[in-house]
Amino acid sequence: MITTLHRPLPRTLVLVGLMGAGKTAVGKRVAARLGLGFVDADHEIETAAGCTIPDIFARYGEPAFRDLERRVIARLMRDPVQVLSTGGGAFMDPQTRDVIAELGLSVWLKADLAVLAARTAKRSNRPLLRGGDPKTLLAELMERRHPIYALADLTVESRDGPVEETVDRVLAAIDAHLAATAAAEETAPAGRTD
């Protein structure tokens, strides 16, 4: 079990991926192991709106929700280094992706369809899974979103099994990424001074 990193996390860790990938469960545990704060963007959006995400969708529609989501995440990215769990559609927004790329380190928690379907079946507050077969809707979301999620800095498998195993994989991937970044910086030629 990896309990910490060999180097300090220099930027906010942003977890992206489909609903049910484990962003909140994994994020809370990663934050605890690193001694960092944890923030769930969906919770912050609900606080800002004064109502639930399903209510925002019902009252104002998805475009209004995405606008609020964009603004809340941009604000959160300017806070001190922390672990941030985002909603499944957040990373699809180009402006949000740009802010995350500039100020954060993104990790795509990638889960297969069976895992996502089993996990999302346990909760009824998923507006995008209403109005059809949830497994079919998830498959459609995977097809549209996976190419964009693949733009994240790191990809970590979120498998069926103990959440601590996914936490270990996330920390190992971050540790390897930070080591590779540090090595690249050490071997990069110094800039010319003339």
Annotated binding site: 20-25, 42, 66, 88, 126, 145
Q: Cα–Cα distance between 12 and 77 in angstroms, integer?
A: 7
119: amino acid identity, one letter? R
Annotated binding site for ATP: 20-25, 126
Joined together, the tokens standing for residue 139 give 């498959």
Q: Cα–Cα distance between 73 and 142 in angstroms, integer?
A: 22
Q: Say if CB 45 and CB 51 are below 8 A apart.
A: no
46: Cβ–Cβ under 8 A, 6 or more apart, which residues? Answer: 52, 53, 56
Q: Say if CB 108 and CB 81 are below 8 A apart.
A: no
149: Cβ–Cβ under 8 A, 6 or more apart, which residues? Answer: 16, 17, 18, 91, 108, 110, 155
Annotated binding site for Mg(2+): 24
Q: Cα–Cα distance between 139 and 165 in angstroms, integer?
A: 25
